[in-house]
Amino acid sequence: MKCYLCGKTFFERRNIHTLFKEKLVFRCQSCLKKYPTYITVQVIPKDNGLIYITSLFKEENNFNLLAYNNEIKKWFLETINSMNEADIIIWIDEVSDELIPHLDLLDNDIYLLTKTLKYFS
């Protein structure tokens, strides 16, 4: 496999139990250790519900998000399984201060996935 962050080709160690199981890995062991996610959830109350803002990283970066497919997939699966049918999922690179008042106009809870942590007051 090819690492989506450093571009190096790498191999996943297999044993008899995992030999025929497909395990998708998008980062090499070195990048897994060097560039972990820093998942933070902030909850902001709004008129009719809550906004759950989940960020993947503490600092701004230019990482190829394909390298974080597993983390993003996990977030989507957990969110879809826990949310109500009418709730909204939004995936956006950066949450601006102008966006929050617009989200306030929407009904129900909003689950927002974003790249970099930003503190809202």
3 lies in the binding site for Zn ion (CB under 5 A): yes
Which segments within 1-121 are labelled E, that is strand?
40-46, 49-57, 88-91, 110-116
CA angle 4, 36, 111 (to 5 degrees): 95
Residues 22-51 that bind Zn ion (CB under 5 A): 28, 31
112 lies in the binding site for Zn ion (CB under 5 A): no
Contact segment (CB under 5 A) with Zn ion among 21-29, 52-60, 83-91, 98-106 equals 21-29
Using CB under 5 A, count the residues that bind Zn ion.
Answer: 5
Joined together, the tokens standing for residue 68 give 């974080």
Give the residues across from 111 on adjacent strands: 52, 89
* Residue 103 beta carbon to Zn ion: minimum distance, rounded to whole angstroms: 35
Q: Which of 69, 78, 61 is nearest to 27 (CA)?
A: 69
Residue (9 or 84) nearer to Zn ion, CB: 9
67 lies in the binding site for Zn ion (CB under 5 A): no
Contact 46, 104 (CB under 8 A): yes
* Binding interface with Zn ion (CB under 5 A): 3, 5-6, 28, 31
